[in-house]
């Protein structure tokens, strides 16, 4: 066994990827993202576990810059989920014509500059088909030209214990070591799996499994649960939702209603100034709360969005995140492959050591809860010392 690897998380968002890797005992040295609110969430949820996030435009930074900021000589594992809007089927499929599509090649550039022993890249599955597969082929060719062995597959989050039918493409690259047995074996199984194959192994986790114990957002008990707040619906929408059966889609409002006995639909981040599409709770006639979204994404309740981060940003950060249990599975896989040690106990931290996630008075909170939110404000104009504290200057 070699020592515990050092990890850098690029395009880290609020840190779903980092969370899963810390959970299985990998040392995340730093996360980088150009969104100040994502880094505010990242730092609130990772500083107490020894990882720090930095606001940085990665299209303008070099590998050397990252090492300098983190005071490291090298990195063992580079992970990242560059923005996928340019490749997503819900986006415009402009491929490389969209500048955001180029950020995936910035990830390749960082691999070339930092030469980590291994990397894990996450993206949407249809990255493989955009421009008739040319973008993906280019990506593979560039990694191979850098002498990395490559393995990739589309992983279903439900297979790894996440109550969500979320498919994401993961590519693993290693220097020197051949990659065998990728992807890691499923830990959870579809209810239709034959009894022989199932052999008492756990079934997919369902919406009900993870949401049923939460009180409704309007009940007094909900006030004590971070990020479990109501959203206001118009009377018309409420009528439509009341008639929407579990597992069905409202044709008028494009709302999907969760089915209690199935995993959730894929949670999405939404793009531009559009509200992330949130499913309707299977029991209550309303969209799910941020806390419910986080549970469906595989986050534990210790992961909290501070209240200086606008609510729609919170939803977006959840929808963007790598599901922590999937990241954890991949972290274990890569450590077993490369003979790296893991030290889970070292990165547990004490969530209670954090300052309060709330900057508002009780009265302010109650007033806001009662007025709910409806609009799509992303709070782009708002600033606060908490957010500003997360900002760093790009290294010179
Ligand atoms: C799909 S999300 C990554 C989510 C993350 N992997 C997680 O698990 O939470 C992509 C991220 O890339 C960030 N991003 C977009 N352009 C960037 C840039 N030029 N430099 C750094 N980060 C950027 C976005 O702010 C967003 O948080």
Name 242's Cβ contacts closer than 8 Å, sequence gap at least 6: 285
Q: Using a 6 Å cutoff on CB, does residue 65 contact ligand 1? A: no
Q: Which ranges constitute the DSSP H helices of the chain?
A: 16-23, 36-46, 63-70, 103-114, 134-145, 195-198, 207-211, 235-242, 290-297, 311-320, 324-338, 362-371, 385-389
Given a contact cutoff of 8 angstroms between Cβ atoms, the answer to whether 311 and 290 are in contact is: yes
- 332-357 average pLDDT score: 96
Please count the other Cβ atoms lying within 10 Å of the Cβ belonging to residue 1. 9
Query: Is residue 141 assigned to a domain?
Result: yes
For ligand 1, the distance from its centroid to the CA atom of residue 280, given in whole angstroms, is: 26
Q: What is the domain-level CATH number for residue 160?
A: 3.40.50.150
Whether residue 314 lies inside any domain: the answer is: no
The mean predicted confidence, pLDDT, of the chain is 88
Report whether residue 230 contacts ligand 1, using a CB cutoff of 6 Å.
no
Which DSSP letter does residue 174 get?
E
* 80, part of any domain: yes
The number of domains in the chain is 1
84 Cα nearest atom in ligand 1: 1
CA 244 to ligand 1 centroid distance, Å: 34
207 lies in some domain: no
Q: How far is Cα 150 from Cα 146, in angstroms, rounded to an integer?
A: 11
Give distance in angstroms: CA of 166 to centre of ligand 1.
Answer: 18
Residue range 246-271, pLDDT digits in tens: 999 887 777 899 999 999 999 988 76
Residue 290 has pLDDT above 70, yes or no: yes
Q: What is the CA(258)–ligand 1 centre distance, in A?
A: 27
Q: Which of 42, 54, 83, 170 to mutate to test the pocket of ligand 1 (most atoms within 8 A of CB)?
A: 83
**Distance, CA of 29 to CA of 70 (rounded, Å):** 7
Q: Report the phi/psi class of residue 303: left, alpha or beta, with left for phi > 0 and alpha for psi in -120 to 50.
A: beta
Exposure of 24 in the CB half-sphere (CA atoms within 13 A)? 21
Mutate to test the pocket of ligand 1, among 320, 328, 330 (most ligand atoms within 8 A of CB): 320
Ligand 1, atom 25, residue with closest C-alpha? 35
Angstrom distance (rounded) from CA 256 to CA 241: 10
Q: Which helix (H) or strand (E) holds 366?
A: helix 362-371
pLDDT exceeding 90 applies to what percent of the chain? 72
What is residue 39's predicted lDDT score, i.e. its pLDDT?
Answer: 98
Dist CA 307 CA 276 (whole Å): 18
pTM of the model: 0.91
Q: Cβ(374)–Cβ(158) under 8 Å?
A: no
- The length of the chain is 396
pLDDT tens-digit series, residues 177-191: 999 999 999 999 998
Q: What separation in angstroms does the CA of 44 have from each of 39, 52, 230, 327, 355?
A: 8, 9, 23, 19, 9
From 21, 31, 34, the mutation candidate for ligand 1 (largest count of ligand atoms within 8 A of CB) is 34
Identify the helix (H) or strand (E) that includes residue 332.
Answer: helix 324-338
pLDDT tens by residue, 345-389: 999 999 999 999 988 777 777 777 666 554 333 333 333 333 333
Phi, psi of 73 (to 5 degrees): -95, -25
Confidence of residue 393 (pLDDT cuts 50, 70, 90): very low
Whether 84 is a known active-site residue: answer yes
What digits encode the pLDDT tens for the residues 133-149? 988 999 999 999 999 99
Q: Whose CA is nearest to atom 15 of ligand 1?
A: 83
The yes-or-no verdict on residue 28 having pLDDT over 60 is: yes
163 CB less than 6 Å from ligand 1?
no
Residue span of the structural domain in which 149 resides:
6-192+319-353
Buried b (16+ CB within 10 A) or exposed e, 250-287: eeebebbbbbeebbbbbbbbbeeeebbbbbbbbebbbb
How far apart are alpha carbons 117 and 76 in whole angstroms?
5
**Cα(12) to centroid(ligand 1), Å:** 6
Choice among 84, 207, 323, 335 that is catalytic: 84
Half-sphere exposure of 249 (CA within 13 A, CB side): 7
Q: Is 197 exposed, middle or buried (0-12, 13-18, 19+ CB in 10 A)?
A: exposed
| Residue 229 domain-assigned (yes or no) | no
User: Is the per-residue pLDDT at 235 higher than 60?
Assistant: yes
Please indicate, yes or no, if residue 71 is contained in any of the structural domains.
yes
């Amino acid at each position: 066994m070699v020592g515990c690897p050092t990890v850098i998380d690029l395009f880290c968002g609020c840190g779903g990827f980092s969370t899963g890797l810390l959970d299985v005992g990998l040392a995340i040295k730093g996360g980088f993202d150009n969104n100040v609110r994502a880094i505010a969430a990242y730092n609130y949820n990772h500083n107490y576990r020894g990882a720090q996030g930095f606001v940085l435009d990665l299209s303008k930074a070099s590998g050397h810059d990252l090492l300098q900021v983190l005071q490291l000589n090298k990195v063992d594992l580079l992970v990242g989920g560059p923005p996928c809007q340019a490749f997503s089927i819900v986006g415009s499929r402009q491929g490389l014509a969209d500048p955001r599509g180029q950020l995936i090649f910035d990830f390749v550039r960082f691999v070339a500059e930092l030469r980590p022993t291994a990397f894990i890249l996450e993206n949407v599955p249809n990255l493989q088909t955009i421009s008739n597969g040319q973008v993906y082929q280019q990506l593979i060719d560039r990694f191979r030209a850098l002498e990395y062995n490559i393995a990739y597959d589309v992983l279903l989050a439900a297979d790894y214990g996440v109550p969500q039918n979320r498919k994401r493409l993961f590519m693993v690259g290693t220097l020197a070591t051949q990659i065998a047995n990728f992807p890691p074996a499923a830990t959870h199984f579809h209810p239709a799996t034959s009894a022989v194959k199932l052999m008492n192994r756990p079934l997919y986790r369902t919406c009900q499994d993870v949401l049923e114990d939460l009180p409704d957002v309007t009940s007094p008990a909900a006030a004590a649960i971070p990020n479990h707040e109501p959203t206001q619906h118009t009377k018309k929408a409420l009528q439509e939702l009341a008639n929407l059966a579990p597992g069905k889609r409202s044709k008028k409002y494009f709302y999907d209603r969760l089915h209690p006995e199935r995993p959730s639909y894929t949670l999405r981040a939404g793009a531009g100034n559009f509200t992330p599409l949130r499913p309707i709770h299977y029991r209550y006639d309303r969209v799910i709360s941020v806390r419910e979204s986080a549970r469906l994404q595989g986050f534990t309740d210790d992961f909290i969005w501070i209240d200086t981060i606008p609510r729609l940003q919170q939803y977006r950060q959840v929808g963007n995140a790598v599901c922590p249990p999937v990241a954890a599975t991949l972290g274990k896989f890569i450590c077993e492959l490369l003979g790296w040690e893991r030290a889970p106990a070292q990165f547990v931290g004490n969530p209670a050591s954090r300052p309060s996630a709330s900057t508002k008075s009780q009265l302010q909170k109650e007033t806001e809860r009662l007025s709910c939110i409806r609009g799509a404000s992303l709070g782009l104009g708002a600033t606060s010392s908490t957010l500003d504290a997360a900002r760093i200057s790009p290294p010179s």
